[in-house]
Amino acid sequence: MSFTLRHAIVHELLKEQYMDIDDKKKYNLRTKELDCNSPIVIKLSQELIQKYGKKYNTVTYSSFDTDKIRRGKFPDAFQKYHSLKRKTKQAFIDLSVLVMNELATKASKIKSSSGGYILFLDYFYDKNSYLVIAMIKQKDALTITDNLNLEELLSIDLSKIHQATRINCTHYSQALASKNDDNFYLSFVSSATDGNTSSYFITALGCQKNTTASKMTKNIIDVSEAFFENDPEIKKYTNDFKDELIKYLTYCCDKKQMATLEQVISKARLILDLSGFQNSNQKADELLEILNSESVNISAAFNVNKDQLNKMLKVKLENDDYTLNFARKLLGTTEAHKIYFDEKKGKFGKLIFDMDEISSNKVKEILKI
For residue range 329-362, what is the model confidence (pLDDT) as tens digits? 788 888 888 888 988 888 888 888 888 888 888 8
Under 8 Å between Cβ of 281 and 269:
yes
User: Domain for residue 143, yes or no?
Assistant: yes
Its pTM stands at 0.79
Does 266 lie in the same domain as 241?
A: yes
Under 8 Å between Cβ of 300 and 261:
yes
Q: What is the dihedral of CA 76, 78, 84, 85, to 10 degrees?
A: -140
Does 326 lie in the same domain as 226?
A: no
Give the bridge partners for 61, in sequence order.
187
Q: What is the dihedral of CA 93, 37, 190, 300, to 10 degrees?
A: 130
Instruction: Give per-residue pLDDT as tens, 102-150.
Output: 999 998 888 888 888 899 999 999 889 999 999 877 555 555 565 666 6
Does 299 lie in the same domain as 225?
A: yes
Q: Domain of residue 326: give its range.
A: 314-367
Does 147 lie in the same domain as 261?
A: no
Instruction: Give per-residue pLDDT as tens, 270-323.
Output: 999 998 899 999 999 999 999 999 989 899 999 999 988 887 777 788 888 888
Does 100 lie in the same domain as 127?
A: yes
CB neighbourhood size of 267 (10 A): 19
Does 276 lie in the same domain as 129?
A: no
At 109, the amino acid letter reads K
Instruction: Give per-residue pLDDT as tens, 189-236.
Output: 876 444 444 578 888 999 887 666 788 999 999 999 999 999 999 999
Does 285 lie in the same domain as 250?
A: yes
* Strand residue runs (E) in 58-99: 60-62
Q: Which of 262, 283, 309 is the endpoint of a domain? A: 309
User: Domain for residue 209, yes or no?
Assistant: no
CB neighbourhood size of 114 (10 A): 18
User: Domain for residue 13, yes or no?
Assistant: yes
* Cα–Cα distance, 200 to 113 (Å, whole number): 8
